[in-house]
Amino acid sequence: MKAEIKTAIICGIIITIGIISMSVFYNEVDMKRNTHYNIEINDKSKLQKAPSILDATGYINISSNELAETLEGKVVLYDIWTYSCINCIRTLPYITTWDEKYRNEGLVIVGIHTPEFEFEKDKDNVLAAVQKFDINYPVVLDNEKEIWNAFQNNYWPRKYITDHDGYIRYDHIGEGSYKETEKVIRQLLQERSESLNIKTNTFELTTLDEFEHSTFKTPELYFGYKFASGRNNLGNENGFKPEEVVEYNIPLEIKQHYFYLDGKWNNSKDSMELVSENGLIMLNYNAKQVNIVASNNAELQIFVDGISVPDNMMGSDLTSQNKILVSEPRLYNIINSAYSESHELIISIKGSEFEIFTFTFG
């Protein structure tokens, strides 16, 4: 083998090891930065109690009076989420499993549904999502962000766990750290059982297939001018025109991680709405998963690199005809592949009033 080829192979191996090492390192850093423990502590007076959630906008799976009684003397996991958030959705299999395992051991899980977009304030939409994701624990609606603000929160999703006296003992932002979170649940349940002199059962830690994020991926892209402020990834030279209908044309040259529009679009604060009968969205992305949050009735034809989406890249909402039928306000999965790659995505839209809020990636 020539020396040049050997050198190239060795360099490739070194680079691969370096990327993997960096990924592991940053995942560990993120877990430590996004997680706060108050487990081994003797003086609880220094801790903060969870704020009241009894003045919520609405309730699902429980009433206000029932909730107050249910929380009394229990270990409580508060999950701040919203139903179109992909990061929130990925955590739900763990949370629903913990609910089944530990409900009779003294754990109460409460979903605090704090909307990001206006359509998420509709109780019927949230109820449909609760049923879809098989959520049987109480969900409180926080449409005005009063509970969100009381927790001094800024993130979706976020989990707080309180002990049976109501003190916050654990706080985690985002996905991941599932084993660490479950260990905290078990430890606080053990504290409760010792305090009440009752016996608890022993369970194996939950093992589920956890989504593995791409090391490098396109960031979340917002279509609403309010959300895009300070992180503008609209590539058309027209740019955002708040509360105006703008006719966009896709330019000859496009940049990666920017989305481009064709057609007439109404610019609103949290979305863009197609005014013309047809439209296009073009994006050069890098990721293994692509999702959109969209609403209103429309037919979307999807192309990757100018052709139909290959079988090994088809998202769960893509039909065999290479289409997505938008019929309700929610997240739609377009691309779901095994590896993070760069591709050109084109969404051809039929149906005026189609509304899109965001692209998210994995």
For the stretch 207-256, pLDDT in tens is 999 998 888 999 999 999 999 988 899 999 999 999 999 999 999 999 99
Burial-class residue 238 by CB neighbours within 10 Å (0-12, 13-18, 19+). middle
pLDDT at 3: 52
Residue 35 pLDDT more than 50? Answer: yes
Please state whether beta strands 221-222 and 58-60 pair in parallel, antiparallel, or not at all (unpaired): unpaired
pTM, entire model: 0.88
The CATH number for 221-361, chosen from 3.30.365.10, 2.60.120.260, 3.40.50.2000, 2.90.10.10, is 2.60.120.260
Q: What is the pLDDT of residues 42-83, one digit of tens each?
A: 778 789 999 999 989 999 999 999 999 999 999 999 999 999
Task: Please state, in angstroms and rounded to a whole number, the distance separating the CA atoms of residues 141 and 130.
Answer: 12
- Residue that wins the pLDDT comparison between 8 and 141: 141
- The answer to whether residue 37 scores a pLDDT higher than 90 is no
The number of beta carbons lying within 10 Å of the beta carbon of residue 4 is: 8
The dotted CATH code for 38-196 is: 3.40.30.10
> What pLDDT is recorded for position 283?
98
One fold for 38-196 and 221-361: no
Mean pLDDT for all residues in the chain: 91
Of 100-109, 212-221, 261-270, the least confident: 212-221
Average pLDDT over residues 113-129: 98
Question: 45: which 2 tokens?
Answer: 């007076």
Q: What is the pLDDT of residue 155?
A: 97
Per-residue pLDDT at 229: 87
Structural domain spans, the chain: 1-28, 38-196, 221-361
pLDDT beyond 70 at 297: yes
Q: Is the pLDDT of residue 25 over 80?
A: no
Asked whether the predicted pLDDT for residue 12 surpasses 80, the reply is no
Confidence class for position 2, pLDDT limits 50, 70, 90: low
pLDDT at 21: 38
Which whole number is the average pLDDT over 263-270?
97
Dihedral of the alpha carbons of 57, 61, 64, 67, in degrees to the nearest 10:
-130
Mean pLDDT of 260-285: 98
Residue 116 has pLDDT above 60, yes or no: yes
Residue 28 pLDDT > 70, yes or no?
no
- What is the band of 307 on the pLDDT scale with cuts at 50, 70, 90? very high
pLDDT number for residue 40: 72
Instruction: Please tell me the predicted confidence (pLDDT) of residue 74.
Output: 98
Is the confidence at residue 329, as pLDDT, over 80?
Answer: yes
pLDDT of 285 over the 80 cut: yes
